[in-house]
Amino acid sequence: MPEARLYRGLVARFTRLDVCGRPVYGECGQIVTRGFVSVSQSAQFTEGEEISQPAADGGTCLNIPATNTFSHYELEIVLCAVNPVLAQIIDPSVELVHDGEEIIGYDTGDSSGLSTNEVGFALELWMAVSSEDDVCTGSVAQGRWGYLLYPRVVGASEGDLEVANAALTTTFTGTTRAPNGWRRGPYQVWADANGVPGPLPQPMPPTKHRRLIPVTTLRPPEPETECLPVDRPVPDPADLYVTGVVNETPRRTVRLRADNHGLGPVLVTWADGSEPQQVADGTWVTHTYEGDGEYPITVADAQTPVVTATRSVTIPLPADEPTLTLSGDNPDNPFEITATIGLPSHANRTATVDWGDGTAAEEVTVSAAGTVSVLHTYQFPNIYYVAARRGDLPTYRTREAIRVPVAQAPAAEVEADPDDPTGMTAVVTYDNTGNGLVAIDWGDGTPVQQVPESGTAEHAYTAQGDYTIRVASVAEPTAAVELPVTVPLGQDEPGPQVTAAADPSDPSGMTVQLDIDNTGAGQPTEPQATAGADTSDPSGMTIQLDIDNATTA
């Protein structure tokens, strides 16, 4: 962004806040003024405790300096224009004096008034900009101004007042406080690349006390002598949080909370034919589905129903926790780990992974399929616990342990047992030399077989079908190889089964009856069979069958 030099305050806007630090919408909620002299900021810190211990010889045994922690900003606001309503926005303990419906003054100094430590105001300031760059960037720019925001100021009170042969000024002091509920704000203060005006491009973090934007190209508001309404802005779609109910089987009850950013109730449509339900902002609500399936839940802002958020849920609900699989897939680097994270369909698409080695937790976004694979390289050998958490509800987590460096998967291959002509016996040849015992899961539900670190193992299947044999190191179960097999093994596509017998309807015994079973040949077309005399039998009593099953394979 261009370098900007800010100078000279131009316009200030004061906005009423509620006890949660959110703008108060409705009549007389803001005042825009040029009538200020200065706004001064002083950072305040909480002093830590110094730890010092003298040694017996008079020297220093231990000395750890104190660490200061940021607390808040102290603000001093000097006004040169007296406005009773502005005084009340800044200091809610102020009482206005009326003559009929006209406000003619204000009273201060009553300690029994409304506490100013909870109800406060937001302060926005626009400043002039001096820059060596173009005065306006882009054809749609209205100019260039600096923008400063204090999203929540509380505890304000009027300071010293002196009446003399000089301009009368009024001084207020207050402190910033977190959390704030400003989010993107109710006003248009920023223009995007297309010149479209709107609120702050990113929400104000609740824990922050100030935001400075060196250059905005949207014109500041015009000063007004009257108190203006604060219009409810078009809200962002509500943030949705969805879980199931603990210990419910099957999981058909959905718990939902919609965060509508302090803008009031929402309407929830459960997509099962039930009536839409109005729910207060930020409260949990439950709904039980009668049937299984996919249900797209829609949450609309009650006042602006065109603003919606949607979350599809699968009934019965899967577990609320993420899934986590750890593996070492890089044979060239046994310190590199792959974490495959899966989120339930009712979670949002973000997760965090803590690798357990002191590095910062990593935020990831899952694919449309609900999974993501993330790589991480460890520095030192150890056993690490890796934790995956849902991004929307971090209390739901899954932990898995992995030993680093990762043992490589055993080398393994499978073939048919040459001594079993039926092809129902599989023989696995494996090698895990140096990494210990091997566990073989034959994939048919039989117990896992534990075998020495190298050799062969065989297993007789009782049913035809497709199976996956998993060969893993016992010491490191994530070091595994999977071998898909089709039983019977070592055979081509099975042909039709033909059984010949005498035709019971022919007492002469001169007729042959054939029973042909082509089940599982893959196509509905029947095999082609041609009968003729066996040329090797001069008596003519032998039939030769030519069967063509090529079209059914």
Q: Is the Cβ–Cβ distance between 324 and 357 less than 8 Å?
A: no
Residue 63 in any domain: the answer is: no
Residue 16 in any domain: the answer is: yes
Question: Is residue 91 located within the same domain as residue 144?
Answer: yes
Question: Is residue 344 located within the same domain as residue 482?
Answer: no
Question: Is residue 73 located within the same domain as residue 187?
Answer: yes
What's the pTM? 0.67
Q: Which of 101, 194, 117, 201 is nearest to 156 (CA)?
A: 117
Question: Is residue 398 located within the same domain as residue 525?
Answer: no
The pLDDT value given to residue 246: 92
Residue 62 in any domain: the answer is: no
Question: Is residue 333 located within the same domain as residue 206?
Answer: no
Question: Is residue 301 located within the same domain as residue 383?
Answer: no
Residue 138 in any domain: the answer is: yes
Q: Count structural domains, the chain.
A: 5
Residue 64 in any domain: the answer is: no
Question: Is residue 396 located within the same domain as residue 256?
Answer: no
Question: Is residue 249 located within the same domain as residue 209?
Answer: no
Domain finish residue from 487, 510, 533: 487
Phi, psi of 312 (to 5 degrees): -85, 140
The pLDDT value given to residue 50: 82
- Over the stretch 480-494, which tens digit does the pLDDT of each residue have? 899 999 999 987 555
Residue 327 in any domain: the answer is: yes
Question: Is residue 182 located within the same domain as residue 142?
Answer: yes
CATH number at residue 394: 2.60.40.10
The pLDDT value given to residue 67: 83
Range of the domain at 335: 323-404
Question: Is residue 420 located within the same domain as residue 272?
Answer: no
Rounded percentage of the chain residues whose pLDDT exceeds 90: 63
Q: What tens-digit pLDDT sequence spans the chain (553 residues)?
A: 556 777 889 999 999 999 989 999 999 999 999 999 999 999 999 888 888 888 888 888 888 888 888 999 999 999 988 899 999 999 998 899 999 989 999 998 876 655 567 789 999 999 998 765 555 555 556 788 999 999 999 989 888 887 887 888 899 999 999 999 999 999 999 988 888 899 999 999 999 999 999 988 899 999 988 999 999 988 889 999 999 999 999 999 999 999 998 889 999 999 999 999 999 999 999 999 999 999 999 999 999 999 999 999 999 999 999 999 998 888 889 899 999 999 999 999 999 999 999 999 999 999 999 999 999 999 999 999 999 999 999 999 999 999 898 878 899 999 999 999 999 999 999 999 888 899 999 999 999 999 999 999 999 999 999 999 999 999 888 788 999 999 999 875 555 666 777 778 878 777 777 777 666 554 445 556 666 666 676 766 666 666 665 544 4
- Over the stretch 258-301, which tens digit does the pLDDT of each residue have? 999 888 999 999 999 999 999 999 999 999 999 999 999 999 99
72 SS3 class: strand
Domain finish residue from 404, 427, 447: 404
Question: Is residue 10 located within the same domain as residue 149?
Answer: yes
* Element at 517 (helix H, strand E): strand 512-517
Residue 286 in any domain: the answer is: yes
Question: Is residue 450 located within the same domain as residue 393?
Answer: no
CATH number at residue 438: 2.60.40
Q: Which residues of 510-537 are buried (b: 16+ CB within 10 A; e: fewer)?
A: eeeeeeeebeebeeeeebeeeeeeeeee
The pLDDT value given to residue 141: 63
Residue 56 in any domain: the answer is: no
Domain finish residue from 265, 285, 315: 315
CATH number at residue 250: 2.60.40.1930
The pLDDT value given to residue 384: 96
Q: Is the Cβ–Cβ distance between 39 and 77 less than 8 Å?
A: yes
